[in-house]
Amino acid sequence: MYKHIAVVTGCAGFIGTTFTRLLLEKGWLVYGIDKFTYVANFEEVQWLADTYPDTFTYTVEDIKNIDRLPECDVVFNLAAESDVDNSILNMDNFIDSNISGVKNLLEIITHRSVQIKNNKPLFFQVSTDEVYGDTLENTFDETAPLIPSNPYAATKAAADMLIESWSRTHGLDYIIARPSNNYGENQYPEKLIPTAVRRLQRGKKIKLHNKGKPIRSWTHVEDTAEAFILLYEKACRNNIYNIQSDYEQTNFITVKKIINAYFMGAINIEIPDYNKHIDYSYDRPGQDVRYSISCESIKNYGWTPKKVFDEEIVKLVDYYKKRKWKW
């Protein structure tokens, strides 16, 4: 007997593969859906299918185009275009996945629920802390207004608002999770940590936009995955929950620790000249200065992050140094 039955869209992504693995380890039956774009980790998904043949299967589909869902208790929507720089260059894929894809899932659950089960499944939307916009001093809780400052964040904010209005109109139960920056293994090298390691491997400078001044909070992907399950099992429906560790630092400090870990094997042993390894010439249009969110709502259910960035980053840099890049 399965603990629960879930559909996980975006199952081949960075968070998606980690989350799917955790569900399977906990005895869930999981149906994965992913369109397998350039960031997809096919090897990890196939490993899950081979390791859990009785409880995991996946299909290669675009959530914008599917016309049915299997019977399930919950739809975890992790499918999304998420690279901010790409959204600045061209928004089309972001609108397709992050807005139109969400709309299609909502329509299937609402209007074709007889194909799913007698009761409509919960819709669990994975959003982002970026929907609140940036702040130098404040910390945003879940009631803060949405003021996204880049096209990617705007599409995620639009999806969140669509879900809330859909719930009011059609009686759909939902949970919206808004995690901060995630880090961990198997991340595609367009994100800061794997990109930095790969550039160091190739003898190239790390591109650090806006001189490394932007401040980010880092949450380990395994802590985020645990948070999703906790919210499903314990949290009140039709609510929003922020997810973030209590750790923040400038991007320069993050890159400095990556360089130290790469060359010295420890974050507290410094190299003589960081300028040899960092390119400060790039500025991102509309750069967010700092994200900061309050997580009291989810902490009230007992969630606390277990991973500590300064302890994990040395192991993570070593992991990416040894990785055979397929991308």
Active site residue ranges: 129-130, 152
Residue 10 CB neighbours (<10 A):
28
Q: Shortest CA distance to 126 belongs to which of 235, 246, 231, 234?
A: 231
Closest CA to 244 of 213, 228, 220: 220
Contact of 284 with 84, CB cutoff 8 Å: yes
Rounded to whole angstroms, what are the CA distances from 73 to 51, 102, 118, 221, 302?
23, 17, 11, 23, 23
Residue 270: name the closest of 258, 278, 279 by CA.
258
Using CA atoms, how far apart are residues 148 and 146, in angstroms rounded to an integer?
A: 6
Closest CA to 73 of 28, 34, 33: 28
**DSSP H or E run through 6:** strand 5-9
Tokens of 133: 């916009």
* CA–CA separation, 229 and 235 (whole Å): 10
